[in-house]
Chain A
């Protein structure tokens, strides 16, 4: 099930907008494709992210995958729980497996993201 209230990138990140801030993670589909996540590398709070640029890395037993920022903005919080419990990304990708919180620089960029129906169609293609 793809949450209908989120927006998505083609690279399988989700973003949940709450006022002028937003939480970012990777989708269940992405976590499933990666397999068991064993390592997550995230930026420090305060760093400025650029839309669609890499801001970190998620690694499974077998694969290394970049994380791409859905929008530009400043990192205001990082999910430190993933340092010791990277498996949260597989177990609860839209909840406890979140990655970063950002202060959105330009809300207009949100329109460049996919809605749930479009993301669903993207992943259905395989």
Chain B
């Protein structure tokens, strides 16, 4: 493709992506790789071998100080003070009305030091909200989103590949764990987290070092079938794994209970937090819509925004849909009325004004063998 795409930021790895012939796309203000050789091939590589992702667009917010933990507990729905050092959890930041501002991963790096990872498109909003909510606390927010490169290696062979380039004992980093050490001789944070439904690692380094991590892992993974993977396959991988995407399943008009993520909200933690009162009401009354998985039973692909029907009546809307590369069938996530959310319920998706049968199925669509 010729022509330039307008974006506020380019990943530090942009030259690598161009050399690999990637199709580029603007995403969350960043010029990022959508795909290299093809979404299906990249998807399969992650399920069967390993994939290398440039995620430098993600937001990295460091919070440090004696009140970093309590400050975050008051700012987010989860309780970061309950995390052991070297552990992480999934979290959300919500508005006072309980609407989701963003979904996050919170890592505890030290007793008084945390890393909050936000979505690219929301990084600025989250950074501003955290600054406001931490005001007056003995905690400093350091937004290093533009100074940090993030490279992920995901798939069953990722640990074997990464182990050849780091002295860190990866076997001691459990799922949702994080360790500091060196990768390819570069100081890095290595987390066993991801967005694919596979085992894998996310490696945070200072921006200029991103390219050296990318090159070192590319070389290390060559014989093992490692492939570069773009945002296109990242989306199909996370959808199969039943993981929500901000802007599709999550937004300001949705609360964590509707998204099926009420377990992330810790009412049992000490003190108030932004959104507590509103979310307690939701928890007591029950949500007015529920996120479900749909497997298409008729011929047609459900897509974002297509109406979901129960008999003739509209019951909800599709938030994400594609043909599952692993299953070979069209799958979707959708919000539907609570009464239509039980697995086994037969619904229909309005595909270009034609109702196509769809069955409510449990999430995730794909679970890796352990």
Contact = CB atoms under 8 A, between A and B. Distances in A.
Interface of A: 35-36, 38-39, 41, 57, 59-62, 64, 126
Interface SS of chain B: helix, strand, loop or mixed? mixed
Nearest to A64: B303
18 contacts: A35-B38, A35-B232, A36-B39, A36-B41, A38-B40, A38-B322, A39-B301, A39-B323, A41-B300, A57-B352, A59-B323, A60-B39, A61-B232, A61-B323, A62-B39, A62-B322, A126-B1, A126-B2
Interface of B: 1-3, 23, 34-35, 38-41, 232, 235-236, 299-301, 303, 322-323, 325, 330, 352
Contacts of A41: 299-300
Nearest to A57: B352
A81 B239 CA distance: 28
Given A35-B39, A57-B352, 15 more contacts: A35-B23, A35-B232, A36-B38, A38-B301, A39-B323, A39-B330, A41-B299, A41-B300, A60-B39, A61-B39, A61-B325, A62-B39, A62-B235, A126-B1, A126-B3
Majority SS of interface residues in chain A?
strand
A59 B39 CA distance: 13
B322 A61 contact: yes
- Of B2, B236, B323, chain A has the most CB atoms within 10 Å of the CB of B323
Contact of B301 (A36, A59, A126): A59
Nearest to A87: B40
A35 B233 CA distance: 12
Contacts of A62: 34, 39, 232, 235, 322
Nearest to B23: A35
